[in-house]
Homo-oligomer: A and B are copies of this chain.
Amino acid sequence: MSLTTGGRSTDVSKRKQTGKARAVITVLDVARHARVSPMTVSRVINGKESVGKKLREKVMASIKALNYSPNLAGRSLRTHTAYQIGLLYSNPSAAYLNQFMVGALQESSLSGCRLTIEQCGGLDSQRVAIEKLLAARVDGVIIPPPLCDSKTTLTHLEEEGMPVVAFATGRPVAGVSSVRIDDYEAAHAMTEYLISLGHRDIGFIEGDPKHTPAALRSAAFFAAMEEAKLEVPRERVAHGLFTYRSGLAAAEKLLKCAHPPTAILASNDDMAAATISVAHGLGLKVPEDLTVCGFDDTPVATTVWPELTTIHQPVTTMARHAVKLLITEIQRRRAGEPAEGMHEVVKFTLVKRGSSAPPRQS
């Protein structure tokens, strides 16, 4: 008889097992160990109220003693909760997607659902990607930016009766659930921080205007500046597209002038990283000669030197929420309840790092 790996031996070893597969503990084993019915074990696992304190404790002890963990396949089969969750993304900001994936995977392994990921580029491939998700029999779809704001995408999915969660959208729509941070408030807070450091000449790199969060960030920047009675002349603002490359061009526009700003706020980290690169190229020290701030706190924020002061968007946590929200929505529809978007706003954090400091002569 084979040894059970590193554990006290239990009555489990008596179970008939084909070959040398190691014994798997089931509700039945726990039930026997605790001298209750499997149902009671099931109730305890699922946190149902209706179990007496004594039994509950006995069961919990047995679960611990046997090191039991439920078999998701069995549960899913019985409860029909093995949802396929689709992720439809278009802008392959690797770092962002990555953090998203970690959270989504965490939550889906807890709730027993599966993830399918589909990338798309233009409008055409968008249609194709959605068809693929439908063919993969997804029960709901999560859409990160910028697709989360695409009317085409949303309508297409709506028509198919597909539950959707818009991820990090800047403009939540009534019928579609969403998870996001308050981009406006975040950009406002960042601008106020720069002002509080003593900066007056602050340059701003806008994000892709098609992304709704970008619009909010811009609006908040201008609002905060106005509230502080600070002018923002046209040459202090540059357009960007959230890419590193667009950040290079934008930073050059802002810095190659007679009176460059003492601080630049970029609408995301990639463009802030590009700004640092341009500054260095021009012989400017960061943060001594120029403060540079980003947005999102993606890995690049801590890769560049100096590390970026930025807005931390808890993407992983948000992804977990998104999966939960989507499951709720799927179950709602299954139960025949009308679709009704739920909207969650998650807290951001302003992370101060080496790229920001008071201006030289403040």
Contacts and interface: CB of A to CB of B under 8 A. Distances in A.
A243 B302 CA distance: 11
Contacts of A94: 94-95, 97-98, 298-299
A304 B246 CA distance: 10
A117 B97 contact: no
Interface string A14-25: 000001110010
A166 to B, nearest CB: 21
A61 interface: no
A27 to B, nearest CB: 13
B98 A105 contact: no
A265 B97 CA distance: 29
Nearest to A79: B73
Contact of A101 (B76, B117, B277, B281): B117
A20 B336 contact: yes
Contact of A281 (B5, B74, B80, B281): B281
A116 B102 CA distance: 9
Interface in A162-187: none
Count class of interface residues, chain A: 35 or more
B72 A82 contact: yes
Nearest to A277: B277
A10 interface: no
A121 interface: no
Contacts of A248: 305
A160 B5 CA distance: 8
Interface string A72-100: 11101100101010000000101101100
Contacts of A336: 19-20
A109 B98 contact: no
A9 interface: no
Interface string A102-122: 100110010000111101000
Contact of A303 (B109, B243, B298): B243
A222 interface: no
A305 to B, nearest CB: 5
Nearest to A20: B336
A20 B334 CA distance: 7
A82 B82 CA distance: 12
A105 B95 contact: no
A116 B76 CA distance: 18
Contacts of A136: 109
Interface string A38-78: 00000000000000000000000000000001011110110
A161 interface: yes
A208 to B, nearest CB: 14
Contacts of A119: 102
A305 B245 contact: yes
Nearest to A137: B69
A335 interface: yes
A244 interface: yes
B303 A245 contact: yes
B92 A299 contact: yes
A82 B70 CA distance: 12
Given A94-B298, A109-B114, 11 more contacts: A5-B160, A24-B80, A72-B73, A72-B114, A73-B73, A73-B77, A101-B101, A105-B115, A109-B136, A245-B303, A245-B304
Shortest beta-carbon contacts, A-B, top 3 = A281-B281, A94-B95, A73-B76
